[in-house]
Chain A
């Protein structure tokens, strides 16, 4: 019942006019950036990090949560109307959604995506309420060795499981870990990787890195590919669904939620895998499988529900363990650190009011998004006409402002440009940005846990294996590596025989 009380308090905080306003701004911004391909919720939250200097933590997180959920809704609009996924999580939606739109059923596709997202988001958030506090309760009892192992799992899983190339993933991860090392070592007071520059001894502010990698890198990348043949958008009226569409949609919504939430909650879930699984399942279970590939509504309903449920699932490890598993969660954790709030299992106890306000705002944001998206879909589609130079000029402006506001030093602007170029090169060579940003955020915390464990264990490395949870996690890590290897071996053997 503790959770329910907490949630009610959370609603009380989230429903004040000021916070409701922040929630509205959040969902509107989130939908807008979700609609525009290339600009995602992670970049937006990164650009808004400077507001954390003078906005209440609860208000800021309510807005960030709105952006996070809004991005998921907006992405589907672009997928369906333009066949260009706004976000990686809505790639699958484009498969059937765009076919539906071409067949003149854009309104129904948008409706099933929006209502499905609402259903999945609400169920997912309810599951979050049910699971996160108890996981946090368990996690509080874990010692440093276990916590170290779990963080290691998150790093490895995000790097090795998501993305096409493991090598590229690990290059990005180690870049991130190296950036995280810059500055004075807290234990010994030695300078690390500061290149003799005193300004670097405080470390590199996470705001600068997040803004540089997400905003500057993307802006430079777009500037390098500025002129492209305009895409063909399918005109649409107000989304609506007939009785038949409801009948065909509600089961895929629930099944999509069932896929999405657990995958989101896993350290390496992401939204790509569950949306794909949901699509495959719906195709198998469909009464009219021949419609798939020509615009089947099930193929939009399932994956859209899955990606929103996974968005809710991602918040489970973030709030209960302090582990980010996608870019937006990573930047939100950076914001938490900015407020001096230590993310981790103790979050529910120490900052319960904040966490519950955040969760309550997810319910509110979800409802706002449904109200906002159904009637306004044609308006959102108009946003795609914005010329890129205007858009990215604005982004560069806010990026520079944000980076300068950190310490009011020109040096941060130089760093911003440097890491922005790194972001551009990463895009050029296909390095994923997620492992880098998670490396920067988790790296220093990983190090603290490792050193704590070693100090308590009198410097013996064997202490790392002293807790059963840690050992299990290491086994999982080994399995993560071994599974693809062994499947490759098994596939190879029949050929040789």
Chain B
């Protein structure tokens, strides 16, 4: 079986990734990491750098895995496409605390994934410090 992780290079993405790894070991599943970007800004801090991808790769060393970094119109769509392509049985997303202004202006990728994903979604929150 396959577990897809919607990964972003921030604490919530890291939380999602480590949960997916634990779950994959438990279910002996393959992990597919999707780190998508709209690619419409010159710099996207949630899009992992080459070094960041190498770190993710190292973390995943214990399980069978695959990492993709697609670029397209809508990040949620890109993740859902990946879920469909791999025939995944579980999607893991990281949740992030959003400011009221942020909620007003921006849509939420996690919300779209929760509502539109055809397979069960596991939502993870980064540990509070």
Interface set of A (CB-CB < 8 Å, partner B): 36-37, 82, 84, 226-233, 381, 384-389
Contacts and interface: CB of A to CB of B under 8 A. Distances in A.
Contacts of B43: 82, 230-233, 381, 384-385
What band does the interface of chain B fall in when counting residues whose beta carbon is under 8 Å from A?
10 to 19
B39 A36 contact: no
Return the 9 tightest CB-CB contacts between A and B, nearest first.
Answer: A230-B44, A227-B39, A384-B43, A232-B49, A384-B42, A233-B43, A387-B41, A230-B47, A387-B40
Contacts of A385: 41-45
B38 interface: yes
B22 to A, nearest CB: 29
A228 B44 contact: no
Interface string B15-40: 00000000000000000000001111
Contacts of A230: 37, 39, 41-44, 47
Interface of B: 37-45, 47, 49-50, 69, 71-73
B50 A228 contact: no
Main secondary structure of the interface of B (DSSP, over half): loop
B72 A227 contact: yes
B10 to A, nearest CB: 13
Contact of A37 (B40, B42, B73): B42
Contacts of B72: 227
Contacts of B49: 232
Contact of A229 (B45, B71, B73): B71
10 contacts: A82-B42, A227-B39, A227-B71, A230-B37, A230-B39, A230-B41, A385-B42, A385-B44, A385-B45, A387-B41
Contact of B50 (A36, A84, A232, A381): A232
Contacts of B37: 229-230
Main secondary structure of the interface of A (DSSP, over half): loop
B45 A389 contact: no
A388 B44 contact: no
A285 B49 CA distance: 36
Q: Which of B43, B44, B71 has the most CB of A within 10 A?
A: B43
Given A230-B39, A230-B43, A389-B40, 10 more contacts: A36-B42, A227-B38, A229-B69, A231-B43, A233-B43, A381-B43, A385-B41, A385-B42, A385-B45, A388-B41
Nearest to B73: A227
A37 to B, nearest CB: 7
Contacts of A384: 41-43
Contacts of A386: 41-42
Contacts of A227: 38-40, 71-73
B106 to A, nearest CB: 10
A226 B38 CA distance: 10
Contacts of B73: 227
A410 B71 CA distance: 39
Contact of B38 (A37, A84, A233, A387): A387
A228 B39 contact: yes
A386 B44 CA distance: 9
A385 B106 CA distance: 14
Contacts of A232: 43, 49-50
B54 to A, nearest CB: 12
A103 B107 CA distance: 37
